[in-house]
Chains A and B, each alone.
Chain A
Amino acid sequence: MFSVKGTRISPAGKRGGKRSFRNLLKCWQLYVFLLPALLYIILFVYKPMYGILIAFKDFRIGDGIWGSEWVGMENFQRLFDSYWFPVILKNTLTLSLLSLVVGFPLPIIFALLLNELRWKKVRNAIQTVSYAPHFISTVVICSMIMLFLSPSSGIVNHFLNLLGIDSVYFMQDTGLFKWVYVLSGVWQGLGWSSIIYSAALSGVDRNLLEAAQIDGASRIQRIIHVNIPVLVPTMMVLLILQCGSLLGVGYEKVYLLQTDANITASEVISTYVYKMGLIEADFSFSTAVNLFNSVVNSVILIVVNFLSNRVTKNGLW
């Protein structure tokens, strides 16, 4: 996935300048095609990277990015010394690791079970329904969570009361927050995440399965020895990508689920960046937090990819 492995540096660049210039002329139209996309990433993705400098400065809007005073690592020092640093680090890791442990295997299992279902209409119906939550917005998902988990009127607590359990204040509970976040994530993502595995399974060699069946292999054995190996490369790529964003818990959903009561369990790096930056207007500090986050993510991604290439021969690059 996303790999440029195997393509060598364009030979045109190595041969004489004249030839590559002629090639360049010949494909000028392709550059016209590329122009809007290139302009966009240069102006809106690469140009802002220059603004990362303010992580090492005491940024004042009036002085501009370059004109503001250098302060070295002061902003990072402030981050590491702050009360919130261990809290947001722990919360971010908790949410992403739990999402990984719970959310990674389930779509695989779902796809494997669905693949065994020979009744095509039922299979399609289950699949269609399982995709639906993916199309529901974060705002709506979070409000459904709040409505369902409401201690007074929510359906979940009515059910618990029926079993003789007292109402639980889910949204105020620091210990339950991670489960609310992760399980609602599973609800929303299970079907959609399984598409890639279902697609891979449809490519399994029928002859191989039949041969295994004739040799007396049971369904479980066929799944373990024929189907799962087909999924391994896809699994590894997705696993690496998820590991690479271990500190990348997005703000969109967490921010909406935060309450004053659960904040010590629900403040993560990205929401902290948002609050420090745009609400407290502490631009330099917020950028420093973000940079710390990006650097750690990149390091994890590189390390995990290296390990995966070594151990399983699968990797992003």
Chain B
Amino acid sequence: MKTRKRNFWFNGDKVFMGISYVALALVFVLTLYPMIFVLSASFSDPGAVSSGEMVLFPKEFTLEGYRYILKYNEIWLGYANTIFYTLVGTFINLAVTLPAAYALSRKELVGRNLILFLFMFTMYFSGGLIPSYLNANSFGLVNTRTFVLINGAVSVYNLIVARTFFSSTIPEQLHEAARIDGADMFKDFFKIVLPLSKPVIVVLALYYGVGHWNEYFTSMIYLAKRREAWPLQLFLKEILIQGQFAESALMAGGLSTEEIAYLFKQADTANMVKYGVIVVSVVPMLAIYPWLQKYFAQGVMLGAVKE
């Protein structure tokens, strides 16, 4: 009996594979379905969506939602701001992070461990929300675009990723050869190191870029009085999160059935717009990342290397 049970497990590869196929299929479907649902809902009649008739593909196809969105100026203002923050912000991130990572990868750097410690310490301890706010205020940076651009200029995690890449993939002999040819460290960095570092530059640009594109909390705090400078996410927050009026009206009570019915009808339209807004805002990121996917694993491994 015992051996038979053991045999079942020892030769149970097929059972195991069967279970794992099911599990993987489940992950695949559960991940994909909400996204497809949002996409389809944005093209469907809002009534069909809220009544549950629309399950997978668009029902009573309409572009009504996107017509609302096209007319909604603030979404496009937010879009423009976000593109600005993402492009300029990411450029600043790279311009600050890559040279510092290069310096920290060189053995000639006097005081390397002390400087490294200075950076690493900030991963675990910081002043916190209010002291940072007061600090930004003392520089006159509250309610400025500048603050949103330079906030988080260097992420220590990304710094370590780049440093590990430089020290582990660019052979020392190359630096030496450059030096013998009379190149100083500036030349070494720009002519030798950077051209060989495409993978890590792509990974960092992606990490930083996604961060800028999706960020909302810093802007909410530091751009509170600069509505015209708001990134897309802040307008989305207004439209998507604070727009749940029908639900709260029902909970609060006190409204007539007709009034609530009307609110829900409006809410249907509002929901259609919401689905469309979600699509419009996530498309750029979801369109870019599959092309960069081959660099992800490398980036993650670089951050995990232990000296």
Q: Which residues of A contact B (CB under 8 A)?
A: 1-7, 9-10, 12-13, 20, 23-24, 26-27, 29-34, 36-38, 40-41, 43-52, 54, 65, 109-110, 113-114, 116-117, 125-133, 135-140, 142-144, 146-148, 150-153, 155, 158, 161, 171-172, 187, 190-191, 195-196, 198-200, 202, 216, 218-221, 234, 237, 244, 251-252, 255-256, 261, 273-274, 277-278, 283, 286-287, 290-291, 294, 297-298, 301
6 pairs, A vs B, C-beta closer than 8 Å: A48-B127, A52-B131, A144-B278, A146-B241, A198-B297, A218-B16
Contact (Cβ within 8 A) B119 A41: yes
Given contacts A153-B50, A153-B267, A273-B128, contact A5 B110 (CB under 8 A): no
B244 contacts the other chain (Cβ, under 8 Å)? yes
B199 contacts the other chain (Cβ, under 8 Å)? no
Stretch with Cβ within 8 A of A (4 or more), from B57-65, B69-77, B96-104, B168-176: B96-104
Contact (Cβ within 8 A) B153 A37: yes
Contact (Cβ within 8 A) A40 B153: yes
Chain B residues, CB < 8 A from A278:
129-130, 133, 221
Instruction: Choose among B99, B151, B184, B271 the residue that contacts A153 (Cβ–Cβ < 8 A).
Output: B271
| CA distance in complex: A2, B32 (Å) | 34
Q: A38-B115, A129-B31, A278-B133 are in contact. List 10 more A-B contacts (CB 8 A).
A: A4-B120, A27-B110, A34-B100, A139-B236, A140-B281, A151-B247, A158-B52, A191-B31, A220-B12, A277-B133
| CA distance in complex: A48, B125 (Å) | 11
Contact (Cβ within 8 A) A126 B13: no
Contact (Cβ within 8 A) B285 A48: no
Chain B residues, CB < 8 A from A9:
113
Q: Which residues of B contact A (CB under 8 A)?
A: 9-13, 16-17, 20, 23-24, 27-28, 30-32, 34-35, 37-38, 49-52, 95-97, 99-100, 102-104, 106, 108-113, 115-120, 122-136, 139, 150-151, 153-154, 157, 159-160, 184-186, 189, 210, 213-217, 221, 233, 236-237, 240-241, 244, 246-247, 250-251, 264, 267-268, 271, 274-275, 278, 281-282, 285-286, 289-290, 293, 296-298, 300-301, 303-307
Chain B min CB distance to A54 (Å):
7
Chain B residues, CB < 8 A from A152:
50, 246-247, 250, 264, 267
Task: Count CB-based A-B contacts (< 8 Å).
Answer: 309
Contact (Cβ within 8 A) B233 A139: yes
Q: Would you call the interface of chain A mostly helix, strand, loop, or mixed?
A: helix
| CA distance in complex: A312, B12 (Å) | 31
Contact (Cβ within 8 A) B129 A286: yes
Chain A min CB distance to B125 (Å):
6
| CA distance in complex: A195, B251 (Å) | 43
Chain A residue at minimal CB-CB distance from B160: A2
Kindly name the residue among A29, A140, A196, A256 whose own CB sees the greatest number of chain B CB atoms within 10 A: A140
| CA distance in complex: A85, B219 (Å) | 28
Chain A residues, CB < 8 A from B38:
144, 147
Contact (Cβ within 8 A) A172 B110: no
| CA distance in complex: A172, B281 (Å) | 27
Chain A residues, CB < 8 A from B216:
137-139, 252
Chain B residues, CB < 8 A from A191:
31
Chain B residues, CB < 8 A from A65:
134
Contact (Cβ within 8 A) B120 A287: no
Chain A residue at minimal CB-CB distance from B153: A40
Chain B residues, CB < 8 A from A33:
99-100, 102-103, 185, 189
Contact (Cβ within 8 A) A155 B52: yes
Contact (Cβ within 8 A) A216 B10: yes
| CA distance in complex: A136, B236 (Å) | 13
Given contacts A137-B216, A196-B301, A199-B297, contact A261 B128 (CB under 8 A): no
Chain A residues, CB < 8 A from B300:
195-196, 199
Chain A residue at minimal CB-CB distance from B134: A51
Chain B residues, CB < 8 A from A136:
214, 282, 285-286
Contact (Cβ within 8 A) B274 A147: yes
| CA distance in complex: A261, B244 (Å) | 14
Instruction: Choose among A24, A132, A219, A256 the residue that contacts B286 (Cβ–Cβ < 8 A).
Output: A132
Chain A residue at minimal CB-CB distance from B252: A260
Chain A min CB distance to B115 (Å):
7
Contact (Cβ within 8 A) B233 A137: yes
Instruction: Choose among B128, B154, B247 the residue that contacts A41 (Cβ–Cβ < 8 A).
Output: B154
| CA distance in complex: A220, B254 (Å) | 60
| CA distance in complex: A49, B116 (Å) | 18
Chain A residues, CB < 8 A from B51:
153
Chain B min CB distance to A133 (Å):
6
Contact (Cβ within 8 A) B130 A54: yes
| CA distance in complex: A246, B293 (Å) | 30
Chain A residue at minimal CB-CB distance from B111: A10
Chain A residues, CB < 8 A from B267:
152-153
Chain B residue at minimal CB-CB distance from A255: B217
| CA distance in complex: A139, B285 (Å) | 14
| CA distance in complex: A129, B31 (Å) | 7
Chain B residues, CB < 8 A from A148:
34, 37
